[in-house]
Amino acid sequence: MASILFIRKEKNFMTGAITGGLTKAGFEITEESINVDSVQKYKDECALILFYTDGIESLEDISSMLVYLKDLCLEENKLLYLIGDPNEFSFICKTIPKASLCDTMARPLDMNRLIDDMNKYTSSDFSQKKNLLVVDDDATYLKIVREWLKNDYNVTIVSSAMQAITYMSNNHVDLLLLDYEMPITNGPKVYEMMKSDPEISGIPVMFLTGKNDFDSIIKVMSLKPAGYLLKTINKSDLIKTLKQFFVNQKYGK
């Protein structure tokens, strides 16, 4: 079974119940205190980091840990799951974008749900497939892109900017494929909105658009997106481009 790194302030009855329940369910649990050195030591061996926030007098005291966990989520695609109080989650999400968390569980602990979640998030189907969000007001094109990519990625499609913002605020997204021209709020405006929202600012964006004029390209590239793809791109080239992006992201190229 999968290896889980369980970090908490100290051992107590609740942490013992979590460790015991997950071990009984077949998971390999490494239980460590909340410090960067412990996480750094085991991060490459674990499929998921489980963070129990209860008992921490001040979350501000672990600011360096939160920054490190944010880097692991955004740069190394590590899965982070929180157990604690919603107020603690709100504080943590000031540093770690909510969209970068795989999930949260507010107390009281639901052991059956936790086991189900751990099975879900450490499964090969979940861990191997990246989550793409595709935004376009053209329903036909959305269906085509989803059909092209569904075998390699978990693909969600939405038809408006506000649907995209709402979805990203509540779900983990590894890459946003964003149309340039949309009614009410266009692609560049969506990207600017994302950059001002710490919960979703870390999500990489590729523009997928029919606009190839010089002024449009210059305007978008000044925002420093992950890429600018024309809608004339074929299936094989799109898949190749996305795979290369995730390879580069993984190895920091």
Segment 160-171, tens digit of pLDDT: 888 888 889 888
Q: Tell me the HSE value of 150 on the side-chain side, using a 13 A CA sphere.
A: 8
Which parts of 121-251 are beta strand (E)?
Answer: 130-135, 153-158, 175-178, 205-209, 227-230
Nearest to 187 by CA among 165, 214, 154: 165
Tell me, yes or no, whether 119 and 133 share the same domain: no
The DSSP 8-state label assigned to residue 109 in this structure reads P
Q: Residue 243's pLDDT is what? A: 86
- For residue 223, give the 3-state DSSP assignment: coil
Question: Are residue 116 and residue 151 in the same domain, yes or no?
Answer: no
The residues of the chain scoring below 50 in pLDDT are none
What pTM value is reported for the model? 0.57
Together in a domain, 112 and 139: no
Do 206 and 94 sit in the same domain of this protein?
A: no
* Final residue belonging to a domain, choices 75, 98, 125: 125
Rg (CA), the chain: 20
**H-type helices in 76-150, by residue range?**
86-92, 111-121, 124-128, 139-149
**Alpha-carbon dihedral sign for residues 121, 125, 130, 134:** negative
Using the 3D structure, point to which of 91, 125, 159 is the last residue of a domain: 125
| pLDDT of the residue at 212 | 72
Domain boundary pick from 94, 125, 156: 125
The answer on 67 and 43 residing in a single domain is yes
What is the domain count for the chain? Answer: 2
- Is there a single domain that holds both residue 161 and residue 98? no
Same domain, residue pair 80 and 180: no
Whether residues 164 and 84 fall in one domain? no
pLDDT confidence of residue 72: 86
- Residue 71 sits in a domain whose CATH number is 3.40.50.2300
Say whether both 234 and 142 belong to one domain: yes
169 shares a domain with 119: no
For residue 206, give its domain range.
129-250
Let me know whether 78 and 183 are in one domain: no
Kind and range of the H or E run holding 63: helix 63-75
- Bridge partners, residue 226, by sequence: none
What tokens were used for 96? 């770690």
Strand, helix or coil at 146? helix
CB-CB contact of 177 with 233 (8 Å): no
209-252 pLDDT, tens digit per residue, is 777 777 777 777 777 888 888 889 999 899 989 988 887 776 55
Locate 134 and state its tokens: 């595709």
- Residues 7, 121, single domain; the answer is yes
Q: Peptide bond before 108: cis, by omega within 30 degrees of 0?
A: yes
